[in-house]
Chains A and B, each alone.
Chain A
Amino acid sequence: MLRKLGVFILFLLAPALIVFLVAREAPAKAEAMAVSYGEVREELQLLKRDTEEMGSAVFSLVYTVERQQELFMQQDERLTELVNLSSEQKQLSDDIYEQKILHMLGPAHYAHLSDRTEIKIFSLNELGYRGYIAKVKLFDPKAFRVALAHDTLGKLETTSSAAKRYDAVLAINGGGFYSEIRNGTSYAQLIGNTVIDGSLVEPFNGYPGDLFFVGVNKKGQVVGNTPRRHEDIMNLNPAHGVSFTPILLQNGQKMIVPEKWKTTRQPRTIIGKYANDDLIMIVVDGRQGDWSVGVTLERLQDKLLELGVKDAYNLDGGGSSAMYYNGKLLNRPSDGRERPVVNNILVMP
């Protein structure tokens, strides 16, 4: 009977036992079924931290670069101010220099201004001599040129005629010359070397004396030297130029003038430049007691220094000295009329 009861209970409890066993293992299996996010989350947290650190680094970089840029912008502005200030100071310095020169020259009688040139004409009234001074700014180097008489070697032509032929606004006589008879006709021979449009019009003249060459280079600056070789001229890169003697001033210093030229009062033609590369052209009348006796080169050197001229060259003077401006001859040539010369210096309007 007990055995039957035991079997009965065993059979009765068998499902419950199975349920118990299954239920007992279920949580463990369920735990196993659960996805483990722990490691993923840890990796994610690490990645997040790395990203945040990188973000901080990038923000720091951006901040630094922006500060740098701001600093550069300030430097840029400061530099711009300095450039402008420097430019203003240069302009001021140039203006003061110009004012000082103009103050020494006195009031201008005539003035011409164009895109190519600025010309101011002043009178020169000193004790015993009179004349005219032309101060020229060349904005276009091609506004300056040398013209052979009738554009031909050996010919002669007055300064006014050459100026009118070229429609020049200003003209003075040029280099020295002498006349000789060739094949039964008069031939005007150039002294020294003459350059037109960058080329010598005659083969290089190596005269051993103190003949200078003076002209304007392709930048519009007055250049000159005492050439001994062809290269000495070409190294100056001249556009136009003429020759004569002597050099009066170089770099603001008086040059030695030969005795025979030093003390004689004559009509003079001078070309020179200021320190700012402005051209100065001077014509002094002479040999006319009631008007102008003329000036010695020594005295002229002093006058030029007084005016602030840096370099000055004595061109062909005497009866050849002539200054033409805007359709008329300004000075009074010692011959009573203009003397035809071998070449002339012209300034275009």
Chain B
Amino acid sequence: MNDFEIEKNKEIDIPFEDITVKNEATEQGEVKDLGESAEQQSSRREKRRKSRNTKNGVIVFLIFAALWGGAVYYGYNYVKDYIDTLTANIQQTNAMQTSELREEISLLGSEIRNLRGSMENAGLVISNTSDVQTRIDEKLVELENQLKELEHSLNILKEAPNAP
């Protein structure tokens, strides 16, 4: 507020009681003590009215600014809460889905490990089967030789003397 406005306010800042008293005194014949003309009085009233209007404007402006500030504050908080809630929900949803995915991947990993174990087991069994097959082949050769020997022995037996 500059010096002009302060001076102006000083002029305007006349107590209402004084004005009323002065008006009453004028009506009772004490006007001549003041020595003012009607024009001067009208100008003074105009000034007072202007002053009153300015004062009301300031008050309205302040109220308006307060309301606006309140609306902004409320809106800010509302939007902030709203966005925070949305973000939190999204984070929570993401986290839950990530957790579910992690669990599913973990299960899948477990299944793959089981599968690997089964395949290793299958490999071992196949290896053992191969060993057994080799052994069977050897046994077949052995049996063939044994049967040849038996055949030879039976042929020998055919040549045995006819003893009881």
A interface residues (Cβ-Cβ under 8 A, vs B): 8, 11-16, 18-19, 22-23, 26-27, 30, 33-35, 37, 40-41, 44, 47-48, 51-52, 54-55, 58-59, 61-62, 65-66, 68-69, 72-73, 75-76, 79-80, 82-83, 86-87, 89-90, 93-94, 96-97, 99-101, 103-104, 252, 274-276, 306-308, 310
Docked pose: A72 CA to B155 CA in angstroms:
33
Identify 17 new A-B residue pairs, CB closer than 8 A, beyond the known A65-B122, A66-B125, A97-B160. Answer: A11-B64, A12-B64, A15-B76, A16-B71, A16-B75, A26-B82, A26-B86, A33-B87, A58-B119, A72-B129, A83-B146, A86-B149, A90-B153, A97-B153, A101-B163, A275-B155, A276-B156
> Which of chain B's residues have a CB closer than 8 A to the CB of A104?
161, 163
Is B71 in contact with A308, judged by CB distance below 8 angstroms?
no
Is A86 in contact with B150, judged by CB distance below 8 angstroms?
yes
The answer to whether the Cβ of B62 comes within 8 Å of any Cβ in the partner chain is: no
Question: B83 is contacted by which of A26, A96, A275, A306 (Cβ under 8 Å)?
Answer: A26
Knowing A34-B90, A47-B108, A69-B132, the reply to whether A97 touches B122 (Cβ < 8 A) is no
Docked pose: A66 CA to B121 CA in angstroms:
10
- The 13 sampled A-B contact pairs (Cβ below 8 Å) are A15-B75, A16-B75, A30-B90, A33-B90, A35-B94, A69-B132, A73-B132, A86-B146, A89-B150, A89-B153, A90-B146, A93-B150, A97-B160
**B:38-63 near A, CB below 8 Å:** none
Knowing A44-B104, A62-B121, the reply to whether A55 touches B82 (Cβ < 8 A) is no
For residue B15, give the distance in angstroms from its CB to the closest CB of chain A: 31
Is A35 in contact with B86, judged by CB distance below 8 angstroms?
no
Is B161 in contact with A55, judged by CB distance below 8 angstroms?
no
Is A12 in contact with B101, judged by CB distance below 8 angstroms?
no
Knowing A19-B78, A82-B143, A87-B146, the reply to whether A69 touches B125 (Cβ < 8 A) is yes
For residue A267, give the distance in angstroms from its CB to the closest CB of chain B: 25
CB-nearest residue of chain B to A73: B132
Which secondary structure dominates chain B's binding surface?
helix
Question: A22 is contacted by which of B79, B93, B107 (Cβ under 8 Å)?
Answer: B79
Is A308 in contact with B121, judged by CB distance below 8 angstroms?
no
Bin chain B's interface residue count. 35 or more
Going nearest first, the 7 A-B pairs with the smallest beta carbon separation are A308-B161, A19-B75, A103-B163, A79-B139, A275-B156, A93-B153, A100-B160
CB-nearest residue of chain A to B89: A30
> Which of chain A's residues have a CB closer than 8 A to the CB of B75?
15-16, 18-19
> Which of chain B's residues have a CB closer than 8 A to the CB of A34?
90, 93-94
For residue B142, give the distance in angstroms from its CB to the closest CB of chain A: 5
The answer to whether the Cβ of B19 comes within 8 Å of any Cβ in the partner chain is: no
For residue A78, give the distance in angstroms from its CB to the closest CB of chain B: 9
CB-nearest residue of chain B to A37: B97
Is A90 in contact with B150, judged by CB distance below 8 angstroms?
yes
Select the residue from B121, B122, B163 with max chain A CB neighbours within 10 A: B163
> Which of chain B's residues have a CB closer than 8 A to the CB of A61?
122
> Which of chain A's residues have a CB closer than 8 A to the CB of B93?
34
Knowing A69-B125, A76-B139, A100-B160, the reply to whether A15 touches B72 (Cβ < 8 A) is yes
The answer to whether the Cβ of B105 comes within 8 Å of any Cβ in the partner chain is: yes
> Which of chain A's residues have a CB closer than 8 A to the CB of B140?
79
The answer to whether the Cβ of B31 comes within 8 Å of any Cβ in the partner chain is: no
The answer to whether the Cβ of B114 comes within 8 Å of any Cβ in the partner chain is: yes
Is B115 in contact with A55, judged by CB distance below 8 angstroms?
yes
Knowing A19-B78, A44-B101, A58-B119, the reply to whether A52 touches B86 (Cβ < 8 A) is no
> Which of chain A's residues have a CB closer than 8 A to the CB of B100?
37
Knowing A37-B97, A101-B161, the reply to whether A65 touches B87 (Cβ < 8 A) is no
Docked pose: A58 CA to B115 CA in angstroms:
7
> Which of chain B's residues have a CB closer than 8 A to the CB of A99?
163
Is B132 in contact with A58, judged by CB distance below 8 angstroms?
no
Docked pose: A40 CA to B94 CA in angstroms:
13
Is B159 in contact with A275, judged by CB distance below 8 angstroms?
yes
> Which of chain B's residues have a CB closer than 8 A to the CB of A73?
132
For residue A307, give the distance in angstroms from its CB to the closest CB of chain B: 6
> Which of chain A's residues have a CB closer than 8 A to the CB of B146?
83, 86-87, 90
> Which of chain B's residues have a CB closer than 8 A to the CB of A274?
156
> Which of chain B's residues have a CB closer than 8 A to the CB of A83?
139, 142-143, 146
Knowing A12-B71, A65-B129, A101-B161, the reply to whether A52 touches B153 (Cβ < 8 A) is no
CB-nearest residue of chain B to A94: B153
> Which of chain A's residues have a CB closer than 8 A to the CB of B142?
83
